[in-house]
Amino acid sequence: MVPAVFPRPMMLIYLTGVLEFMGAVGLLLPRFRSLAGICLIALLIAMFPANVNAALKSTTLAGKPATPLWLRAPMQVLFIGLLRWSTRP
């Protein structure tokens, strides 16, 4: 799913997983909720090219096709909007 231009794709997968986990923990802590929301929004934007790549190359994930781009793009906008709405100060 990671575009070929990025070196060490497995390292990037683990890194994004750690960042997602840290973002989830940040959402649970009122002091960090707003910052966690901003960071998770940035992560969603940064990871979107991988979703585009997977959709365009018909990548399968666990035997299932990746979410089509026509559905994934609005989902990203929805996720970003919900994060912004739920974590604003």
Residue 1 lies in a domain: no
pLDDT tens-digit readout, 2-13: 878 888 989 999
DSSP characters over 2-66: --TTSS-HHHHHHHHHHHHHHHHHHHHSTTTHHHHHHHHHHHHHHHHHHHHHHHHTT-EETTEEP
Count of structural domains within the chain:
1
Structure confidence at residue 6 (pLDDT): 85
Domain that holds residue 21: 9-87
Residue 4 lies in a domain: no
pLDDT tens-digit readout, 29-83: 999 999 999 999 999 999 998 889 889 988 888 899 989 999 999 999 999 999 9
pTM of this prediction exceeds 0.85: yes
